[in-house]
Amino acid sequence: MNRSELREQIFELLFRVEFNSMEEMSEQAELFTSEEDKELSAQDAEYIKSKYEAIASKLPEIDEAINKETTGWDTGRMAKVDLTIIRLAIYEIKYDESVPTGVAINEAVELAKKYGQDGSPAFVNGVLAKFAQ
């Protein structure tokens, strides 16, 4: 898989955080990467799980940063899809030096176009612009 496809898989796994406890997420990660229709290589499955775990370990810090930078939009009010996309992108901006900030933002906007509502791409772009500075 290319990096965009891997990022999309990480997004889908990270989205499950909204519906499962953190204790259940290790099992969810195993189930997610072993689904037959995904046809993931062992290397891709390991990359997805390890990147998810890295993001999950930083979620409190990421959510705190989001709540600090957004006015009138805390993490509890955001659409779950938008929040998941923003969390993934902020992790890449703040903690993953292999992903340039512009790439993280562009990829997040593309995910928002695919999975979000009509206003999601602009909302995601606006929130992430505050972290690009």
What average pLDDT does range 45-72 have in this prediction?
94
pLDDT value for 1 = 87
Instruction: State pTM to two decimals.
Output: 0.93
- 58: confidence class by pLDDT, cuts 50, 70, 90: very high
Task: Find the angle CA(83)-CA(78)-CA(16) to the nearest 5 degrees.
Answer: 45
Instruction: State the Cα–Cα distance between residues 87 and 85, nearest whole angstrom.
Output: 5
For helices 120-129 and 80-95, what crossing angle results, to 10°?
30
What average pLDDT does range 41-58 have in this prediction?
95
